[in-house]
Structure 1
Amino acid sequence: MVPKGFTGITIFPFIFLKRKDLKEDIILINHEKIHLKQQLELLIIFFYLFYGIEWIIKYMKYQNGYIAYKNLSFEREAYQHEKNLEYVKKRKTWAFFSYL
């Protein structure tokens, strides 16, 4: 279920991990919880539409799938705050917009 090269993926309401032991990785889990919040804000389906469109735009800009992924607004927010275990509780609605 988890794409090659990734350790986890969130498809609301589930977090899928490459290995069971990753459940103990609090930073990874926090990163994925940030994605759960983003998905809820965009009523789930619009998250995936936005994510896909933004990825295509970034891919055209960078000509590299991994660089496009790392520069997505959703990923930039999640990576920047994954170590802040209080972020999900204090996160402002639509916070990902500031990473566009």
Structure 2
Amino acid sequence: MRIVSKYLVPKGYKGLTIFPFVFLKQSEHATDEVLLNHEKIHLRQQLELLVLPFFVWYGLEFLWHFLRERDVKRAYYSISFEREAYANEKDLYYLKQRSFWRFLKYFD
């Protein structure tokens, strides 16, 4: 389910996914197929980890990368879930062939 809310999406981002919702900053983002595919990849990741563990893992991985990089943006882009989503967001058929827990390929 898509919800448009400029207040729920952090500054500098276009979308945020918290299963089963995709929050979009602006209504025109609802037609951005690449952005929506990116967020759908996060929905799949969250389902695979039964939602709550996804956010725990995401937070711990962000913290680990932040402590290593000392840079919020670099830490964010280093998270395995984000690396998978950004690497495949332009492939609109990715989710049809994606294997289970594929984000592990991007974990380091």
TM-score (norm 1): 0.99
Q: Deviations over 1:27-70 (max 9, x none)?
A: 00000000000000000000000000000000001101111000
- Among 43, 59, 62, the alignment partner of 1:52 is 59
Letter in 2 for 1:81: N
Number of equivalences: 100
Letter in 2 for 1:21: E
How far apart, in 2, do the equivalents of 1:53 and 1:64 lie? 15
- Among 24, 28, 37, the alignment partner of 1:21 is 28
Gap regions ≥5 residues in structure 2:
1-7
Letter in 2 for 1:78: A
Structure 2 equivalent of residue 92 of structure 1:
99
- Among 56, 69, 82, the alignment partner of 1:75 is 82
Computed over aligned residues only, the root mean square deviation of the Cα atoms, in angstroms, reads: 0.4
